[in-house]
Amino acid sequence: MATADNGDLVFYPAYCFRASPTHFTWVKMAAVDVHLLKRKVEFKDQSIFFYLNHPIRFVSVVGIIVARTEYPALTILTLDDSSGATVEVVVCKVSATTDEVKPVKGAKGGGAESLQAPYTTKHVAATNRTDLDITALVPGAVSQLKGTLSAFRGTMQIRLERASVIRDTNAEMRFLDQRGRFLVEVLSIPWSVTRKEMARLRQEADEEEEKLEDGREKMQKRQRRRTEREERDYKKIQKLWEQEEQIRAKEAVYCRDSGAKVMRDIKRKKAG
């Protein structure tokens, strides 16, 4: 069921998000607009943020990196896109081995080593943990950064998923043009879904849930059959083992009796 906030914005159920023009795309945004994104407590998925009532998970920003700060577990890039605000982009690190972080040859007094070592640390994407090369993402570089959203101490951040350095001014201008058009034509207009479309989306969600349930039931049935088969096989093996033990016990008795008989016969022959 759709809900409305005090500003009369209608927030649709999560099963409607697939119909949104923002949910499954890298939304081109300005830094100042990223800070306007809000969470809604009624939605369980806290990685979803809203611009008006548009659900957004992934954003793409372009600007100049004005700062790069290294911490043991992450790197923070500060990006300025001339929109009136900067945005922090968080890049996850993985534990570096001595082979991954090497001193710079010719460094004196350890100063150059301490500056260069963090730039050779291994970084990974926030979601799938694939390798990210951010060595070129230094202050002064014009870059396109794509990532998921998070909030830290009430401030919006982007968690880096993909990155590239923009060396063509035309490419930067195209991005700014597309970003402006999307803001005007999509983001600035509240998203709306008709009752008919909501019913269709709900039906699709229910059907997918049923398929998932059927899949889980089939998996559970396969698991039960596998367990029952293993138990049957175990019982068969146990029964065969018991039968073999009985046969071996009989053979042992037979061998013992036969051996005793042979010894008696030998004694009789010696005595005679």
Residues 127-183: pLDDT tens digits? Answer: 889 999 999 999 999 999 999 999 998 899 999 999 999 999 999 999 999 999 999
126 vs 264, residue with greater confidence: 126
Q: Are 51 and 36 in contact (CB under 8 A)?
A: yes
Q: CA nearest 56: which of 32, 77, 28, 31?
A: 28
Are 104 and 116 in contact by the 8 Å Cβ rule? The answer is: yes
The total of other beta-carbon atoms located within 10 Å of residue 36's CB is 15
Mean local confidence (pLDDT), 11-18: 90
Provide the whole-model pTM.
0.69
User: Which option is the CATH number for 3-193: 1.25.10.10, 3.90.740.10, 3.40.50.2000, 2.40.50.140?
Assistant: 2.40.50.140
**N-term to C-term CA, the chain:** 109
Q: Would you say 29 and 50 are in contact if contact means Cβ atoms under 8 Å apart?
A: no
In the chain, where the domains are located: 3-193
The 10s digit of each residue's pLDDT in 210-238 is 877 766 666 776 777 777 777 776 777 77
54-82 pLDDT, tens digit per residue, is: 999 999 999 999 999 999 999 999 999 99
Angle at 160 between CA 154 and CA 166, to 5 degrees: 120
